[in-house]
């Protein structure tokens, strides 16, 4: 009678898992991609062209680098907010099916800490970037630069960080000091 020799350190359970993993890898790397043109990662290994790069949504850095030209006021932002954001974030930004965007300044050390714009966002420029690339979820990337500045002006002024009568543009947005900016520990200084 032949016996199954299991390499030292490997239990039978682990052997079975290892075989399934190897089999799965072989299947997904050959037949699945070969049969399905949509999933084939045909672009892998190609150098990105300058035109491709230019077509991507720009990245806004914490310093404000990358912010487009434009400006907007809190008054304009309030109108946009009610028509495009309030259904999920609440009429007064108090939250609804999605997070609150106005208020909330409890300590982050609490076990169920409330991570709001006031406590968890070190840079106001990230707000612009985040709304630009992801909001509203049904049509991300459709807000103009002026509309984005107006929405930031509205949210920041309602949070007491901007004068609602002043138009907000790139320079001013980058200069806003979020209240908890120095409350973070840099893991990689
Ligand atoms: C259909 C619902 C919906 C609408 C409308 C919507 N959002 Fe959101 N929003 C969400 C959800 C869900 C999240 C959480 C996404 C996540 O965590 O990845 C979110 C997250 C955010 C965040 C990040 C909040 C945080 O503390 O992390 C901001 C800022 C934001 N939305 C702004 C807006 C603005 C401005 C508009 C209007 C232009 C808008 N949203 C419209 C559902 C919505």
Q: How many residues does the chain have?
A: 189
Q: Which residues of the chain have pLDDT under 70?
A: 1-42
**What is the per-residue pLDDT for 57?**
82
Q: Is the distance from the beta carbon of residue 101 to the nearest atom of ligand 1 less than 6 Å?
A: yes
Token pair of 22 as six digits: 């190897």
Q: Is the distance from the beta carbon of residue 176 to the nearest atom of ligand 1 less than 6 Å?
A: no
Q: Is the distance from the beta carbon of residue 87 to the nearest atom of ligand 1 less than 6 Å?
A: yes
**What is the per-residue pLDDT for 35?**
53
**What is the per-residue pLDDT for 33?**
47
Residue nearest to atom 28 of ligand 1 (CA): 131
Q: Is the distance from the beta carbon of residue 85 to the nearest atom of ligand 1 less than 6 Å?
A: yes
Domains of the chain: 1-46 (no CATH), 57-183 (1.10.760.10)
Q: Is the distance from the beta carbon of residue 141 to the nearest atom of ligand 1 less than 6 Å?
A: no
Helices (H), the chain: 12-27, 33-35, 50-55, 74-84, 86-89, 117-120, 125-134, 145-158, 170-175
**What is the per-residue pLDDT for 2?**
46
HSE-CB of 79 using CA atoms within 13 angstroms? 6
**What is the per-residue pLDDT for 31?**
44
What b/e string do you get for 44-81 counting C-beta neighbours within 10 Å, with b at 16 or more? eeeeeeeeeeeeeeeebeeebeebeebbbbbebbbebb
**What is the per-residue pLDDT for 82?**
98
Instruction: Please write the tens of the pLDDT for every residue from 102-128.
Output: 999 888 888 888 899 999 999 999 999
Residue to substitute in 74, 81, 87, 88 for testing ligand 1 pocket (most ligand atoms within 8 angstroms of CB): 88
**What is the per-residue pLDDT for 28?**
46
Distance 98 CA to ligand 1 centre (A): 6
């Amino acid at each position: 009678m032949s016996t199954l020799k299991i390499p030292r350190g490997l239990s039978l359970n682990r052997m079975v898992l290892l075989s399934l993993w190897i089999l799965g890898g072989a299947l997904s790397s050959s037949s699945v991609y070969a049969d399905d043109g949509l999933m084939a990662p045909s672009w892998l290994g190609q150098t990105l062209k300058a035109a491709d790069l230019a077509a991507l949504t720009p990245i806004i850095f914490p310093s404000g680098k990358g912010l487009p030209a434009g400006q907007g006021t809190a008054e304009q932002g309030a109108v946009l907010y009610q028509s495009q954001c309030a259904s999920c974030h609440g009429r007064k930004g108090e939250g609804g099916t999605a997070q609150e965007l106005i208020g909330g300044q409890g300590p982050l050390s609490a076990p169920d800490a409330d991570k709001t714009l006031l406590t968890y966002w070190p840079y106001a420029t990230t707000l612009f970037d985040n709304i630009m690339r992801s909001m509203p979820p049904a049509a991300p990337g459709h807000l103009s630069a002026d509309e984005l500045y107006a929405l930031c002006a509205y949210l920041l002024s309602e949070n007491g960080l901007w004068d609602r009568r002043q138009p907000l543009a790139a320079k001013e947005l980058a200069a806003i000091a979020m209240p908890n900016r120095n409350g973070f520990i840099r893991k990689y200084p």
